[in-house]
Amino acid sequence: MPMADLPVELWLEILTYLPRSALQKLIGVNRTLFELALNDMYEEVRLISDDKDMEKTFNQLKHFNISKRVRHLFIRPSFLPGLDDEPDENLLRTLPVKLSETKANLTNWIKRAVSHPDAIKYSGPYDPSAGVLEMASKSIKSCPNIREISLVLHDHTLTPSFLSFLNSLWSSDSIGPCLQMLSIDTTVVKLPLLLRALIKRSVSLPNLATFDINISVSRFQHSAHEWAAAVAALSQFLATFTKSITAFTFSCLVRGDIDALFGALPRLANLATFEFTSVFNATCFRKSEHFTHFIAKHASTLSKLVLKPRARSVGYNISDHTYSEWVRGTNGAGTAAKVGQTMADLVLPSLRSLDIGFRDAWNSQREENIRTFLPDLPRVAQNLTSLVLTDITLSPECIFTLIDMLATREGGPSIESLAFACHILFPELFDRLAQDLPRLKGLTIDYRAYGLCASDKADGMAWYNAEQYKAPFMAAMQARRYPRWGLRYLRLSAPYSCGTTHPNAVVMKIVAETLSADIILGRELSCQCKEYINYQPTTPVPPDLHPDLGYGLFFRD
């Protein structure tokens, strides 16, 4: 018997029970699922190759019903020739093109070469990807809802046709006026060329609010002059977009004077989020005063600060003790550093969220007092409401010291969201959190083992011996109640065989029963295991409840 279609809100609720891959299998059920599946299929366009499939994709974008769904353009042109590629003298004879097409491509190549004299010259007789790039340029202009572009360019030759394609994106008749997020992953040598093109067309990019730059390692050593040119280009770019950029992410894996780089960067008038995910060592930071000053001059607007002393990709250039000394405000001799050169000297009254990582997970096994790792947070960020500690596993003594630090702040709002990793999970931990941080609303803990008191030690086999103390821990928690604790989100996770942590639903439920209010349990997975584990209904968490932890979807018990 036919029935009326369900409301869109109900279909969205049903889809929360299913993995994302199931959506496209439901494309023929009804019109609602058809539209949702198309949105998922065409949300991102990836320009990677110049083959027939790529041409097919751009032909599809000529249809407005498809082009209107594109939100993200990802560009990683693997078809561009490498910097060290030798020209192929038999290219014209081996390419399956007609003579007329070859002549047209050669003419277009010459025109583009004349119009882009500053481009790195392509040594072949003509650019074989010119046709696909021209088609891409025309098709993307018909995508009115693209808000984000990710550009990845490493050791490739930038041909005139590719540069012409990039320049077309920033024009006023393309997606430039709608662009809000731009991510560039490139080398030192290519950075000035890419940024200069954006600077020239800044009038067509009025809504660019988020800028993410990742300076990658090249197979070819850059010179001091090329590094200086990259620094100057980045400084000029940020100065050009100083009023529109509200979020800035910086990552660098190359060896260079990063502190001097930050000394050359201007103040961004409306910067609210700054993320630093880069190597921090004595080579890159012979001094740290310029980096500290860059953060300090945004004190009035900066509301979120992310510090991770590691680049996004693995490399031989790693952080050292210089970062820890900058964080805690000491020098190599253990004495106080010069005023104005460390994180401990900062005063950030507008900061609400701090996500701070440490050197690496291996050093986290050291049971030192947390004050040797962190500055005086009540002084540095008196209005902090969200704190995330990563790449460090805390002992019970460190946790208690951290709680004391957060609980003794005078004035300003209280901590509402806290995330950290610890060696053992023990009942007294929740006693202290409920007593000293009563306004805590979101709590995320990664743990290694269970214990009954703070004096219990987690040995190297904690992962395997965890079940031995699980039952006594749960029994002790069942006897506790925290009626005045306003916790509304809880995630407790332990190591799993996949190498990440998985939430323990049983333990979370036991802890949740100690509270009087309804609580959302975080059961989301960030690993591939989610494809093999049954999904449970999801409930989005309001931003004011669990801000800036970045765990995506949340599951209600």
174 or 465, which is more confident: 174
pLDDT reported for residue 538? 43
The neighbour count for residue 144, using CB atoms within 10 Å, is: 12
**DSSP characters for 136-187?**
HHHHHTT-TT--EEEEEE-SB---HHHHHHHHHHTSTTTTGGG--EEEEEE-
CB 554 within 8 A of CB 489: yes
pLDDT at 271: 97
* Per-residue pLDDT tens digits for 285-344: 988 899 999 999 999 999 999 999 887 766 666 788 888 889 888 765 455 556 568 898
Beta carbons of 521 and 490 less than 8 angstroms apart: yes
pLDDT at 476: 92
Q: What is the pLDDT of residues 156-185, one digit of tens each?
A: 888 899 999 999 999 999 999 999 999 999
Question: What does the pLDDT read at residue 121?
Answer: 45
Percent residues over pLDDT 90 in the chain: 44
pLDDT value at position 129? 82
The DSSP bridge pattern shows strands 489-495 and 501-503 to be: antiparallel
- pLDDT mean over 132-136: 91
Residue 359: its pLDDT value, please? 67
* 3-state helix/strand/coil string of 310-334: CCCCCCCCCCCHHHHHHHHCECCCC
Q: What is the pLDDT of residue 110?
A: 56
Span of 7-16, 287-296, 367-376, 476-485 with lowest mean pLDDT? 367-376
* Percent residues over pLDDT 70 in the chain: 76
Q: What are phi and psi of 181, to 5 degrees?
A: -130, 130
Among 29-43, 349-363, 367-381, 537-551, the minimum mean pLDDT is found in: 537-551
Contact 149, 73 (CB under 8 A): yes
Closest CA to 209 of 276, 153, 294, 272: 272
pTM beyond cutoff 0.75: yes
Most confidently predicted of 19-33, 50-64, 443-457, 539-553:
50-64
CB 260 within 8 A of CB 227: no
Predicted pLDDT at 131: 87
Lowest mean pLDDT among 92-101, 105-114, 185-194: 92-101
Distance, in Å, from the CA atom of 468 to the CA atom of 449, rounded to the nearest integer, reads: 9
pLDDT at 369 over 70: no
Relative orientation angle of helices 130-140 and 160-169, to the nearest 10 degrees: 0
pLDDT in tens, 423-460: 889 999 999 999 999 999 999 999 988 888 877 655 44
Alpha helices in 437-503 (DSSP H): 462-465, 470-478
Q: What is the pLDDT of residues 470-523, one digit of tens each?
A: 888 999 999 999 998 989 999 999 888 777 888 998 999 999 999 877 888 888
Largest interatomic CA distance in the chain: 85
Predicted pLDDT of residue 356: 94
Give the model confidence (pLDDT) of 238-286 as tens digits: 999 999 999 999 999 888 899 999 999 999 999 999 999 998 988 889 8
Whether the predicted pLDDT of 206 surpasses 50:
yes
**pLDDT of res. 535:** 44
Tokens 């997970």, residue located: 361
Burial of residue 173, with CB atoms counted within 10 A of its CB: 0-12 exposed, 13-18 middle, 19 or more buried? exposed
